[in-house]
Amino acid sequence: MAHPKIGNMAPAFSLLNQNGEKVALKDFRDQKTVVLYFYPKAMTPGCTVQAGGIRDNRKELDKQDVVVLGVSPDPVKRLQKFIERDDLNFDLLSDEDHAIADKYGAWGPKKFMGKEFDGILRTTYIIGKDGRLKHIMDKFKTKTHHEDLLAWLNENLD
């Protein structure tokens, strides 16, 4: 499935976070720029590196009125474990049926160790305070994801 178009309204969602509380995109309207990033699985090496980079740059993101939401098909309980284990300081959302990943075009065919299967395509969406999609990052290394993200935000946010 294709990504939503830049400039269009970002697809609405409401998902449970690591505490079982509902988090909806509309909660941040006119207040925060939303960084919505889809990752394959909590507590796996690449996802841990990516989440750690965001955690360690939280102050920078706060200065720019940016809220980060990580989305994966993990159940709520596993998200709670990931937050506790890695001392994460942002919400992780559970998209177990990958309905939101589908809406964003972040679910599709992958290859791993010679096998093909459907799963999360590691993608980051930057959604403006007006609810419109500003930017899509889908080619990055987990190690430098936060650097690429901050560079884009620094250049493009007012």
List, by residue number, the catalytic residues: 47
Phi-psi region of 98 (alpha: psi -120 to 50; beta: other; left: phi over 0): left
CB atoms within 10 A of CB 157: 14
At 44, is the secondary structure helix, strand, or coil?
coil
Q: Tell which residue, 18, 90, 23, has the closest CA to residue 55.
A: 90
Q: Which residues of 31-66 are buried (b: 16+ CB within 10 A; e: fewer)?
A: ebbbbbbbbbbbeeeebbebbbbbbebeeebeeeeb
Token readout for 54 is 């965001």
